[in-house]
Amino acid sequence: MAATQSPTVHQRRLRAELRKARENSSQTQEQVATALEWSLSKVIRIEAGTVGISTTDLRALLAHYGVADERITEIVALARSARERAWWSSYRKALSQPYTDMIGYESAASILRHFQPLVVPGLLQTSDYAEAITHGLLRPENRSRSEQLIEVRMRRQELLEQPDPPQFYFVIDEAVVHRHVGGQNVMRNQIRRLVELASLPHVTIEVVPFTAGAHMGLGGAFTIIEFPDPEDDDVLSLESERGSVTTRDLHDEVTHYREVFEDLRRVSLRPEGSAVLLSRLADEI
């Protein structure tokens, strides 16, 4: 199980702590801004996490909320952790903020559940497949980003091989493995890679067959990320057909997609049948 060391998760915790401290003090953001002689936009942006906060301002804010000294020390330490740079920070110019957030959450996960109806999930892609799919998705004027995007995808896959890795559950539509992305050789090697990864004790890969007909996953790809600390709520990542990512953490929405994921598993070929299908397809291509 992955340790929660991601700055992204620490940033999320800090936002939650600041919001909770303000609500416990029964103050509005407007009242806080007036009392501290800050602009309202500063208070809003700090609480939303769109700007950082200095240690001096953080201590002043928490003291204004009446937070105990010991707890202030803990939250200041949390803020320092939130400011640390992770490996994906060097790729920020090539990545959207939601995608960057998703990588940060993913890196701290204990369990990941991912459904993909169109392409092989990024964590499972070979470099040749990743190159072909990236070039296929990007417009010519944006292809200068492709090398960095592929690098990021390959680095994300280090999660699969790290000590004490997360538990991964992947469900893919059968269409994914029939679409010859990059040509026959690329696809053959990609499917063999899926078979290889599915043999790992912490990786489960299941295929929803064509015979399942219309199913709950036709709305698009999604990922549900769980964390080892129960205080960290699950995160939902939704992916558009163009590859853009949106992260959400509303409880009802996460619960809905968890139910969708389990419905998809029920209509899948299950791990054993999926492995048989993948092995056969690799031999037939």
Token reading at 11: 């940033």
Report pTM.
0.89
What average pLDDT score do residues 118-142 get? 89
Give the pLDDT score at 243: 58
> Tens digits of per-residue pLDDT, 180-192?
999 999 999 999 9
| Assigned CATH for 87-284 | 3.30.870.10
What average pLDDT score do residues 232-237 get? 94
- Rounded to whole angstroms, the Cα distance separating 219 from 281 reads 26
Q: Return the residue matching tokens 């699969």.
A: 160
Model confidence at 247, pLDDT cuts 50, 70, 90, reads confident
| CATH domain 7-82 topology | 434 Repressor (Amino-terminal Domain) (1.10.260)
- Rounded to whole angstroms, the Cα distance separating 179 from 93 reads 31
Give the pLDDT score at 1: 46
What average pLDDT score do residues 91-109 get? 92
In the chain, domain spans: 7-82, 87-284
| 3, pLDDT greater than 70 | no
Q: Within 10 Å of residue 199's Cβ, how many Cβ atoms? A: 10
What average pLDDT score do residues 203-225 get? 96
Which of 124, 105, 101, 87 has its CA nearest to residue 206? Answer: 124
